[in-house]
Every structure is written in structure tokens, then in C-alpha cells.
Chain A
Amino acid sequence: METLDFLATGFSVALAPMNLALVLIGCFVGTLIGSLPGIGPINGVAILLPLAYAMGFPPESALILLAGVYYGAEYGGRISSILLNVPGDAGAIMTTLDGYPLSQKGEGGRALALSAVASFIGSMGALILIVLFAPLLSELALKFGPSEFVWLMAFAFTCLATMVGSRPLKTTVGVVIGLLLATVGVDSGTGVLRFTMDIPNFYDGVDFLVVVIGMFAISEVLILLENWLKNDMKLTPVGKSFVSMSDLIAVKWVVLRSTLIGFVIGVLPGTGASIGSAVAYGTEKRFAEGNDDQFGKGDIRGLAAPEAANNASAAGSMLPMLTLGIPGSGTTAILLGALLMFNITPGPLLFEQQPEIAWGLIASMFVGNIALLVMNLPLIGMFVRLLSIKQSYLVPIIVMLTFIGIYSIHGDSFDLYFMVLLGVFAFILRKLGFSLAPVILGLVLGEVLEENLRRALSISGGEWSILFNGPISISLAVATLVAATGPFIYKALKPKQ
């Protein structure tokens, strides 16, 4: 019952006029950003974060806006996947497999409508699961001490390393780079200046926003420059957009299964929508064995599965971020960084002490998803038209927004130079097959990890054995070990085809 009270508090926050407006703006901008090829949810949130910060919103409002962009983009990503065979973001890659063939058959409208409903059910299902699990998880997390948090982060990084990116080794390097960036600045325990290179701007650490914008948005501009070809994208005609009951009934179990898969993968630290949708697609293909010859040629099951899953995992990745302070995906890592900038530490106490933030966000996601369903069914034509915006018009806007966003924080040109430098560095990382999400996760969690490690060893007087003290620590250590070795053992045992 307590949960319902909190949820009611949440809705009173989410339905306040300004927050309601921000949800709608966030969802609209998110769908737009998701539908434009190349600019995914991470970039959208990264570009808007400094603006939201500089405009002085209260933390819950800023979070509601940015989260709206995040899950809105998961809706929008499918539009260009279906119509252009170009995924709008990484979570929508699997959607191209069956979505594009459908639109080529002249059933683009049907595909867009069905995938919108699948997205909606995926999100809503995951939200209900969040409401059920958030209180349990935050209660468990209240029992966590420093050594438990150390293991939790070790577990998060291990999941990330073995499941994300081209090679575990490269992901680990990414995490370490992020963690090292987090050590720059004055050490809070002793006042020692670390790695500041005598630059005063670094005394209070590298600015989170500068790193995020530089690494994601600026490197994205370079990627767009590199990939730019003079092609006029031809939109396939959409046809009539409608939801047919028979389609929905045909995919109901597919959608529910994929929602669950997406949610679980979203909750796992570090693994986000792109993995969730791929696993859901693979699972459905196996479920349909013997009857799967249409997969890849425009099967509605192959369309509904990844869409339900990527939205479910986007929502699911909020759960560990809010309850444990461990982001479930790259984009939630940025949201976590946003909260930290507002001096709010996510974690078990957030639900007790600042229910308006945690529950306000959850309630706003219910509202936002309903708004998104409306935007994505009757108003879909508008987003489709926006797909034909030329990159030559788009890129100056992106660059302008990143510069003004960063400049307006401190009013210092140094941040702009540093941002461009980081962008070049991140571009090189991407070209070498490193993913950027691990770097951001490392950066966001670095300070907390070091603090907890030092606190744990202070308690034990320097004895490292404290890390194996108590049942929760040991279970987390075992989970870390399983996450580290599991995928390799599975690969070794799997019969070769």
C-alpha cells in the first residue's frame, strides 16, 4: 500500500503543469532525435543536459525532461529503421530486419502502427515491473555497506565488459579510462591535487558535461562528416497507418516475452536497449522454429519483438540507476551524472528521502508513454516528413547547441577547447572499436567506487579480507565471477555448427 501512496505523490509531481509540459517536450524531442539517423538517445540527452542545467530547472523537472528524451528516442528509432532501412539508434538495428521489408511491401503504415503499440506495451510492462521491484531493491540496498558497493560496481563493470562492445578487453580499457578521468582533481580525503597538470579548471575535477558532450556529440559530428555521402534518401510511401486487432492478437505473446527479456537485460548494469532487442529477436526466432521462414522478410513477430524489448530495457535500466546508483545503460549513466550534478545521490535513500524525484520520474514515464503512443499513431506523418531534413541543416544546429550548452555553464572558453579535444579522442576510440558507454560509466562511478573502497579498508584497518565479509558481499563476488567467466564457458560448451 505504501507503494501506492508514493506513486500518488509521484503523479502529483508529474502532473504539475510545468513538469507535464516538460514530459511532452521531452517525448516529442526524443521521438524526433530518435528518428533522425545518426543521433541516438545518448546524443540527444547529452546535448540537452547542459541546457536543462543552465536553465535552472529543479532536479526532478530536469530529470523528467531528459528521461522523456531517452525513452522517446527509443520510439523514434524505429521510424527510419522501417522506412529507410537506417536505424535511428543502436536499439533499433534489429527493427530494420523485418520492418524495412514490410514497408517495401507497401505496409509501412501497418508496421509503424504495430511497432508503436509494441513499444508502448514494452514500456508500460517494464514500468509496472519497476513499480513492483523498486521498493524491494531499495530495501535490500539499505543493507549495503562499502564493501557491498565495491562488489556491485565490480559486477556492473564485469557485465559491461563481457556483454558490450567488440571485445571485453577494449571495454575494460574504456572503463579504466573513465575511472582515471574521475580521479582528476582535488582528493576529498586528503586535499591532494591529482593529475590536474596545474590547470585551475581541473582542480575540482573534469567537468562531467564537457566529457559527455565532447565524447558523444562532438565525435558524432566527426562520424557524420566521415560518413556523409551525397545521397537523397528515398522514403518509401507510408500507406495508411492503422492498428489491426488481428495483428495485435497474433503477436501478444511475442510482445509479452520480449518485454520481460528487455526488462531483465535493461536492469543488468551496462547492457542497454541494443542488446535487449537483439536477444528478444533471437529468442522469438527460436520460438517460431519450423514456422520462421518469414523472419527477415517482413514478419510482424520479428518487428514487434525488438520494439517491445528495446523500450522495456530503456525503462528497465532506470531501476538500478534509481535504487542502487548503478546505471543500467550508457544513457542512464548520463542521467545519473545529471543527478549527481544536482547534488542528488541516487540509491536506496532516494526513495525514502526524496520520493518526489524517484517516484515523480516513474510517474512521469507513465504519462510520457501515453503521450508517445498518441504522438506515434495519429501524428506519425509529421515525424516521417522530418526525416527528410538535410544533414547540412542539422549539423550546424547540433554544433551550436553543444557549444552554447557547455559555454553557458561556466562562461569559460577553456571548456570548449577541452570538449573538442575529447571529441577527437572519442572519435579515435570509436574508430578503434572501443565503445564510449564504458568510459561514461567509469567516469560516473569512479568517485563512488574509490570512496567505498577506501572506506571499506578504513573500517578494516587495511585488511582486504573485508571485501569478503558477509553474505551479500560474497554473493555479489560470486555473481561477478559468473559474469566474468559465464559467457566464455557458454561459448566453449556450445556445440559448433
Chain B
Amino acid sequence: MFDRLFAGALLGLSGLIAWTAYHFEVAFQYEPLGPKAFPLILSAVLAVCSVWLIIKPSANKWAPTGAVLVKLISGVLLMTGYAFLFEKAGFIISTAIVGTVFCVLFGEQTKRAVLYSVTLSVVSYFVLKHVLQLNVPTGMLFGG
């Protein structure tokens, strides 16, 4: 079932790709193939594979429980939130918050999670910024 859904989406995608590629406006072209051909060939292969997969899907036993789904979705939201905060709040604050929640998600007690994540984020900030000299966002709070 999962396979069929996914293959259906791929089939739609291959159509979209073919349509987009077909409508590339090429002002000039010195070679016989041009920029359209390769994507068109690929979308054709993708379409054939998707149809095949719709006809003959593999069995899939993946059946996450509600609790697992909640965990997965919170993981995705957490990382999206991290992406949002990373530049705005800066490395130290965002890492401390996100690290704490991840620790808790993996079964750590809240107090230890906070302690660990705050230490991790502060130590890493100095190591990454000053020892490895990476581009680490300081954040608005610290005037960055």
C-alpha cells in the first residue's frame, strides 16, 4: 500500500518534470541534445519504474504505533524549530533548548537533560568558534 502511494506520487512527479523540461526556453543551442533531453529521458525511466511499482508493490510491514508517530513528528518539528532558531536565537540558546528536548525524547530525566545540554552548547560554542574557527551564529542576545 505504501509502495503504491509513493509510486503514484513519483508518477505525478515524473509527469511534472517532463512537462517542465519540455517547456524550458532555450535561446541558443550548439549541440544536438540540449538541456531538455536528459531530464526527459530520466522522467520517462521514472514513469516506467513507478508504473511497475504500482503493478507490483512490495509488502511493507511498517506500522508505527501512535506513540512512535508522535515521537517521529516531534523529532521533525524539533529539527525544524532548530533551523528556525539557529540564526535568530544563536547557537548557544537554540542548541541548549533543542538538545534538552532530544535528551528527554531519548528517555533522560529533565534535570540531567538540561544540565547536559547547557554544558554541551556552551562548551561546543567555544570549541567550534574559537578552536575550529567555524561560522557559528552568536545570536541577537549576544549582539550577533
Contact = CB atoms under 8 A, between A and B. Distances in A.
Given A167-B58, A179-B42, 4 more contacts: A169-B56, A407-B137, A431-B62, A458-B31
B33 A458 contact: yes
Contacts of A407: 86-87, 135-137
B102 A395 contact: yes
Interface in A433-466: 433, 450, 453-454, 457-458, 461-462
Given A189-B35, A230-B107, A420 B45 contact: no
Interface string A23-62: 0000000000000000000000000000100110000000
A428 B102 CA distance: 21
A55 B107 contact: no
Contacts of A4: none
B123 to A, nearest CB: 11
B46 A180 contact: yes
A392 B113 CA distance: 8
Interface stretch (A220-228, A260-268, A349-357): A220-228
B126 interface: no
A228 B10 contact: no
B1 to A, nearest CB: 11
A390 B35 contact: no
A424 B84 CA distance: 17
Given A221-B75, A408-B135, A416 B106 contact: no
A420 B58 contact: no
Contacts of B35: 187, 189-190, 192, 194
Given A54-B135, A226-B64, A400-B99, A194 B21 contact: yes
B5 to A, nearest CB: 9
A419 B121 CA distance: 21
B132 A390 contact: no
A392 B106 contact: yes
Point out which of A192, A413, A424, A454 has the most chain B C-beta atoms below 10 A from its C-beta. A192
Given A172-B45, A416-B86, A454 B103 contact: no
A490 interface: no
A397 interface: yes
Nearest to A172: B49
Interface in A147-203: 166-167, 169-170, 172-173, 176-177, 179-180, 183, 187, 189-192, 194-195
Interface of B: 2-3, 6, 10, 17, 20-21, 24-35, 37-39, 42-43, 45-46, 49-50, 52-53, 56, 58, 60, 62, 64, 68, 71-72, 75-76, 79-80, 82-84, 86-87, 91, 95, 98-99, 102-108, 113, 116-117, 120-121, 124, 128, 132-137
Contacts of A170: 53, 58
Contacts of A479: none
Contact of A225 (B42, B46, B72, B136): B72
A379 interface: no
B75 to A, nearest CB: 5
Query: On chain A, which size bracket covers the interface?
Result: 35 or more
A55 B42 contact: no
Given A194-B39, A407-B135, A416 B116 contact: no
Contact of A457 (B27, B33, B102): B33
Interface string A216-238: 00100110111010100000000
A461 B3 CA distance: 41
Contacts of B62: 431-432
A393 B39 CA distance: 44
**B interface secondary structure, majority:** helix
Interface of A: 51, 54-55, 166-167, 169-170, 172-173, 176-177, 179-180, 183, 187, 189-192, 194-195, 218, 221-222, 224-226, 228, 230, 390-393, 395-397, 399-400, 403-404, 407-408, 411, 413, 416-417, 419-420, 423-424, 427-428, 431-433, 450, 453-454, 457-458, 461-462
Nearest to A184: B39
B31 A457 contact: yes
A413 B87 contact: yes
Contacts of A457: 31-33
A195 B17 contact: yes
Contact of B116 (A194, A226, A393, A462): A393
B49 A225 contact: no
Contacts of B83: 403, 413, 416-417, 419-420
Given A396-B117, A457-B32, A403 B64 contact: no
Contacts of B99: 396, 399-400
Contacts of A397: 120
A420 B35 CA distance: 30
30 contacts: A169-B53, A176-B49, A177-B46, A187-B35, A189-B31, A190-B34, A191-B27, A194-B39, A222-B72, A226-B71, A226-B72, A230-B107, A392-B102, A392-B104, A395-B102, A396-B116, A396-B117, A400-B95, A416-B86, A419-B83, A420-B76, A420-B80, A420-B83, A423-B79, A427-B72, A432-B2, A433-B58, A453-B33, A458-B30, A458-B31
Nearest to B95: A400
A166 B99 CA distance: 35
Contacts of A420: 76, 79-80, 83
A461 B32 CA distance: 6
Contacts of A166: 58
A399 B134 contact: no
